[in-house]
Amino acid sequence: MNYYNQEVETMHHDKLKLLQLDRIRLVVKKVYDNVEPYREKMRAIGIRPADINDLSDIEHLPFTEKQDLRDNYPLGMLSVPNSEIVRVHTSSGTTGQRSAVGYTQADLDAWADVMARSLVAGGCTKDSIVHNAYGYGLFTGGLGANNGSERLGAMTLPVSGGNTSQQLQLLKDFKADTICCTPSYALYLADEMKKQGYDIKDLALKRGIMGAEPWTEEMRQEIEKRLGLKAYNIFGLSEIMGPGVAMECSQQNGMHIWEDHFLPEIIDPKTKKVLPNGSQGELVLSNLTKTGMPLLRYRTRDITSLDDTACPCRRTHIKMNPLVGRSDDMLIISGANVYPSQIESVLLSSELADYIEPHYLIVVDRENNRDRMEVKVEVKEEMVGASEAIANRIRHNVTSATGISAKITLTPPNTIQRSQGKAVRVMDNRKNGANGINGVHEKEGG
Ligand code: ADP
Ligand code: ZN
């Protein structure tokens, strides 16, 4: 079994808890002393750093919301003077205004370490050749994966997003065994590979380190089949660090959250009460080691659950299950809640695999005061004639999975826009979209 830092990754969980307590106390004191918005929040609820004596006491600490970062944009939440900051990143702005994050050199070092740890959990070694197709720039994906790969000592190709023909050529020339990219880009790459006459044997890919957007188990299987690799789920967010907050191991069933750096909780988004392990709710993360801009109880708006059962890989760090989605992506259609991932599971199920391509778009409208959901999905070339029967089957399956009757539109192959970064799965055209997002945003993330 391969670890990057065996001692930490397999540390007894009780010891890990003690480490977390020591670290969170330092962070609380640091932000209380140095960050005005935190001091105000803590004073308002009458809590002081000395009140944190047990991990359960963190329930009394204030939350940090996306809006706090927006209100203090760009760098009003730093715990150190600007002169200590060596790098700035921003979030991708998927759900609105971007937030900015400042990193000290120590933060960049810790990030490279957790990212290196993540790559090793996915099977990389110092002998790996890593083709990094996450976008370089303000988006954390590119530089985050890059620096972790270099920290590990792997041969790193800083390819960035876009220019797919060149990517294929590079994959062939350098024989990378590892590709880092979003799951939707992996599918796009597989499409282009076929179109441009490459054979899977021209490439030497063994594994993909894939994240930055929600994807289902069905999508994983499709990617693994088409690219002939193992696809591992990696999770991260810029506000907390970037990619490498959590990563799957060889088990491919949940991502170990690196608990010596990040403290996870799951809350009920409505009552804001902490839920027991196993319950589904909103992921809340606190930084334990960040020095530039540590955040307390950051509400990620990502919906998942924690899994504290022992993992055969012997890593002791708690796992988070694949994300159901972002609470912002939850559609409320005629009063019922639907996540795009529920529809993806239906479309990519083995039952439909012979008939449709894994490219889809969900369009929501309001007509005569009634919500209407349309699912557009590409039909396979050879199936174009049989569309009606296929559409009926999909309609039936979507209704049983979500309780909603959707209009199913089958479109010819290659008609739904491909994503080079984070995929856009939903177009909500309702004037006052129930989830507040309308239409398509411009995003990076490739
Ligand atoms: P933005 O929130 O604007 O997209 P980031 O680039 O920081 O900004 O992206 C972080 C977000 O991306 C996470 O909060 C989560 O919603 C999503 N994400 C990252 N990794 C994964 C993953 N493995 N599965 C599902 N969603 C993910
Ligand atoms: Zn494991």
pLDDT over 50 (residue 34): yes
| Domain made up of 331-437: CATH architecture | 2-Layer Sandwich (3.30)
Q: What's the confidence (pLDDT) of residue 421?
A: 87
Q: What is the mean pLDDT of residues 166-171?
A: 98
Distance 236 CA to ligand 1 centre (A): 6
Query: What is the rounded distance in angstroms from the CA atom of residue 81 to the CA atom of residue 239?
Result: 18
In the chain, % of residues over pLDDT 90: 92
94 lines ligand 1 (CB under 6 A): yes
- Our answer on whether the CB atom of 90 is closer than 6 Å to any ligand 1 atom is no
Measured from the CB, is residue 343 less than 6 Å from ligand 1?
no
Q: Burial of 223 by CB count in 10 Å (0-12 exposed, 13-18 middle, 19+ buried)?
A: buried
The answer to whether residues 419 and 186 touch, using CB atoms and an 8 Å cutoff, is no
Which ligand ends up closest to the CA of 248? Answer: 2
- pLDDT at position 1 is 61
> Is 241 close to ligand 1, i.e. is its CB under 6 Å away?
no
CA of 44 to the centre of ligand 1 (A): 31
Q: From the CA of 9, how far away is ligand 2's center (Å)?
A: 10
Does residue 443 have a pLDDT over 80?
no
- What pLDDT, on a 0 to 100 scale, did the predictor assign at position 95? 82
- In the chain, where does the domain assigned CATH 3.30.300.30 lie? 331-437
The residue whose CB lies within 8 Å of the most ligand 1 atoms, and thus the one to mutate among 134, 237, 252, is 237
In tens, the pLDDT along 343-364 reads 999 999 999 999 999 999 999 9
Mean pLDDT for the chain overall: 95
CATH of domain 1-326+442-446: 3.40.50.12780
> Is 214's C-beta closer than 6 angstroms to any atom of ligand 1?
yes
Q: What is the dihedral of CA 436, 437, 438, 439, to 10 degrees?
A: -170
Where are the CATH 3.40.50.12780 domain residues in the chain? 1-326+442-446
User: 48-73, pLDDT tens digit by residue?
Assistant: 999 999 999 999 999 999 999 999 99
Reference 339, options 378, 304, 307, 365; nearest CA is 304
Q: Is the CB of 93 under 6 A from ligand 1?
A: yes
**H-assigned helices in 228-294:** none
127-158 residue pLDDT tens: 999 999 999 999 999 999 999 999 999 999 99
Looking up tokens 């997003």 gives 161
